[in-house]
Amino acid sequence: MPPNPYAPQSATELQAVVTLKAARDVARDIEALRNRLKDDAIHPFQRQRLKDDLLEAAERLCNLLDLLMSWLTMVSASVRHPLSEGIQELRERLLSTGVRLIGDKADRLLTQADLATRGDGVFPLGISFRLAEAVANLLATVEVLGGYEAMPEEVQEKLASAQDMVHHLRLMEENYAFAREFEEVEDPAELDEPPSGFTLPRF
């Protein structure tokens, strides 16, 4: 029997093939959840649970796709071609759910940023760096799904707003930290009064 030309030849190629199969399994789970959500008779509580499961599965698939894409340059041409085709197929199957995932996450980030800017005198130091990391992760997911141009205009606007808000929070954080540092500068300690009966020497 002749050898399979598409068989993995290294540990990395084997891992890529196994991960591609796992990603396809997750894609099937997503499609099953979508079909269940088409049932109008589902109780609202159960519907919300299914939506949460759908978004969690979509995020898991995004992570697997990101991993698969990182291996494209590390495998032989015989494995790269089917791997690339598999990534594109999964990307197309995920796109609509992934767009919703990105939009929901962007909304949550904007809400957190808005709450931070209206902190009634209490500003959470470090919030800009935490949100910057979250936005960076979100943009990485966008790349997995085909890049900024693949996103609807509404989602593009949310992403741009999130990046602008992070920049704004960084400036606020710097100003807040500077103001606190200025307030905490203590006045020079006053000299203790000399004890009773003591006179300073004259020169």
Domains of the chain, earliest start first: 11-183 (1.20.58)
Say whether pLDDT at 201 is over 50: no
Give the chain's count of helices (H) and strands (E).
5, 0
Q: Which of 18-32, 50-64, 101-115, 167-181 has the highest mean pLDDT?
A: 18-32
- Determine the pLDDT at residue 178: 47
pLDDT of residue 8: 61
**pLDDT-based confidence at residue 90 (cuts at 50, 70, 90):** very high
d(CA 170, CA 156): 22
Residue 1, pLDDT score: 47
